[in-house]
Chain A
Amino acid sequence: MSPTSVSMPGLWHGFSAVIRRDILLAWKRPGDVLNPLFFFAMVSTIFPLAVGPSTEQLQFSGPGVVWVAALLATLLSLNSLFLSDFEDGSLDQLVLSPQPLPLLVLGKALAHWLISGLPLVIMSPLIAITFQMPADTINIMMVTLAFGTISLSMLGSIGAALTVGLHRGTALLGLLILPLSMPILIFGARTVSLSAAEDGVAAGIYFLAAYCMLALSLAPFATAAALRISNE
């Protein structure tokens, strides 16, 4: 046995190292970050042009369109969550690190949210204006999108982990994740609609927050297990 006592980096150290590395990588390759964001902006801004300029119609369809665009933009970016790590061997290093894998995976999913979900939430008011949403509704929409995109990043990490070994797993990833993400879409879009109609929104936001907490606490374990299988 080696005489030197080995001091392990703490859990927080490993967790933050993963987040810092992924954000640094995104910083060096901004294209990967901007693609889904452009997609989100394009879909949501083209829609009013197609539907027509009637305020009533735009306000009616706005929440749904923004939410569908956000969901699809997130799905688009999820595919690459573990792909480059798998291809360059970083995944082996993560799996073989003494840090608990669910923690590292949580770091990766949260980094994904910071890179793709948070900019989307920040940009959404601009889109909302094209749908002539009132200011209160825009606030509610940002809150629901924040909870929703965190949940989507967490759920998506499970799908991304399951499909990482398959080539062109995007379609399969969508198939796996869409059923789980339907509650987020339904409650998210509906809550924004209710807010536009000046109806109660608390229940919807509570549900989204609860779903988000559930995803945050359970998804990392499922993702870690899926990664170990995919990485065989």
Chain B
Amino acid sequence: MSAKSLCLLRGDRCLFRDLDFALQDGEMLVIEGPNGSGKTSLLRGIAGLLEFECGAMRWNGRALHDDYPSFRADLAWLSHRVGFKGDLTIVENLAFESGLRATDDSRMGNALARLGLARLTDLPFRSLSAGQQRRVALARMLLSRAKLWMMDEPFTNLDKAGQSLVADLIAEHLAAGGAAVVASHQYLDIDGKTRRVLLQ
């Protein structure tokens, strides 16, 4: 993945301009910056949810817009709004994912156990704590076979064990040849090659 001279305006404020980066398999891109510096906007722009004012993204050597469906097939997305239904149970929510994208449901039991959710599977998502809800969102990343993980503030609401679990999961994903783009306001130190973008 690579990006060339990206810029983005929000209202009449320029969030960033002439931003370049490149990302190989097994590498992680960390987007750092204080609150309101445009981390989420940059992330949404990379995912194609926002249009950049100028610049171009390439994925697997092709312009993103030429082959957007295959980019989405490689993408797993985690943001502060986790995208699960409060009235459905964890399993019902995760089962819906398998209709949307390629998932490996045979690993469901393992993934839930690892995230400490194994005993909560029949509870409605609404009744889980904020940290547990984030863990369900991590389960979606684990089950997906996406090559590119995009995560917006993955450590929010998680306890110490949960935070180190996220770091482990990302490290494993990178070791398996995947790539990750992570926006975070805290310093991220994870095994594997890391590139950094600092937004002011």
Using CB atoms and an 8 Å cutoff, list the residues of chain A in contact with chain B.
1-4, 6-9, 13-14, 16-18, 20-21, 24-25, 28-29, 84, 87-100, 104, 231-232
Known: A92-B79, A95-B49. A2 touches B88 (CB 8 A): no
Known: A17-B99, A94-B100, A95-B49. A6 touches B73 (CB 8 A): yes
Whether, in the assembled complex, B135 has its beta carbon less than 8 Å from a beta carbon of chain A, the answer is: no
In the assembled complex, which residues on chain A have CB atoms less than 8 Å from the CB atom of B145?
2, 4, 6
User: Distance in Å from the Cβ of B158 to the closest Cβ of chain A?
Assistant: 17
In the assembled complex, which residues on chain B have CB atoms less than 8 Å from the CB atom of A1?
25, 147, 177
11 A-B pairs in the complex with CB atoms less than 8 angstroms apart: A1-B147, A8-B73, A8-B101, A17-B100, A24-B92, A90-B83, A92-B49, A94-B100, A96-B49, A99-B101, A231-B49
Q: Which of B25, B72, B176, B178 has the most CB of A within 10 A?
A: B72
In the assembled complex, which residues on chain B have CB atoms less than 8 Å from the CB atom of A87?
81
> A-B pairs with the 7 shortest C-beta distances?
A17-B99, A89-B81, A89-B83, A98-B73, A97-B100, A93-B83, A28-B87
Interface size class of B (residues with CB under 8 A): 35 or more
Q: Which residue of B lies closest to A98 (CB)?
A: B73
In the assembled complex, which residues on chain B have CB atoms less than 8 Å from the CB atom of A98?
69-70, 72-73, 100-102
Complex Cα spacing A84 to B83, Å: 10
Using CB atoms and an 8 Å cutoff, list the residues of chain B in contact with chain A.
25, 44, 47-51, 69-70, 72-73, 75, 77, 79-88, 92, 96-102, 145, 147, 176-178
Tell me which of B77, B79, B102 contacts A6 (CB under 8 A).
B102
Tell me whether A88 and B147 are in contact (CB under 8 A).
no
Count how many pairs of residues, one from A and one from B, have CB atoms less than 8 Å apart in the complex: 100
In the assembled complex, which residues on chain B have CB atoms less than 8 Å from the CB atom of A94?
100
